[in-house]
Amino acid sequence: MEPLVDCVIEDARWEALGLEPLSVRAASAVLAGLGLPQQGFSLCVMGCDDARIAVLNAEFRGKPVPTNVLSWPSEDLAEGAGIEPARPLAGEAAEPWSLGDIAISYDTCAREAGAAGKPLADHVTHLVVHGVLHLLGYDHIDDADAALMEKHEVAILATLGVDDPY
């Protein structure tokens, strides 16, 4: 059984790309890569455009510009620089434990993928993996945290057949 991913599509271009199955696949790979169960967790992924994500970025980070992905963990699991975050406990079958929410901008993702010569689906998969890792307490504020997070991203993406983004 896969984690429950609720996809909210605000920009129809995400439907054509298949954001929901990409998100389920990416979230499942993160959980498997970290040795967490595939069930008992949920998250929400909102597919939007640059205008919407710029508003969210301004509201939550004080940066009134578009970005590729934002995340809001339901719980702070971070332990400290370079230390693996605490592992969440899966919820019961009737009530999955919410990891949190992710917003992702089609415009920025498409621009970045085009500039890097990468398939859009691969870039989006990377950014959803990145967002789910944030929900699980990983960050890249300092070098030790960034190295830890990137190590997991690269390993998880390899299981999905996605090239090292770094």
- Encode pLDDT of 2-45 as tens digits: 668 999 999 999 999 999 999 999 999 999 999 998 888 999 99
> Is the separation of the CB atoms in 2 and 38 below 8 Å?
yes
**Percent of the chain with pLDDT strictly greater than 70:** 92
pLDDT of residue 94: 58
**Residue 166 within a domain:** no
Give the CATH number, domain containing residue 50.
Answer: 3.40.390.30
Q: Is residue 165 part of a domain?
A: no
What's the pLDDT band for 75 if we cut at 50, 70, 90?
Answer: confident
Q: Note whether residue 101 is domain-resident.
A: yes
Any domain includes 23:
yes
Domain count, the chain: 1
Q: What is the DSSP letter of 58?
A: H
Q: In the prediction, which pLDDT does 90 show?
A: 64
Q: C-alpha angle with apex 78: 35 to 34, nearest 5 degrees?
A: 10
Of 103, 140, 141, whose CA–CA distance to 124 is shortest? 103
Is residue 8 domain-resident? yes
| Nearby residues of 117 by Cβ (< 8 Å), 6 or more positions away | none
C-alpha 109/C-alpha 106 separation (Å) is 5
Helix (H) or strand (E) holding 105: strand 97-105
Inside any domain, residue 69:
yes
With CA atoms as reference, report the closest residue to 149 among 127, 164, 134.
Answer: 134
Cβ atoms of 53 and 65 within 8 Å: the answer is: no
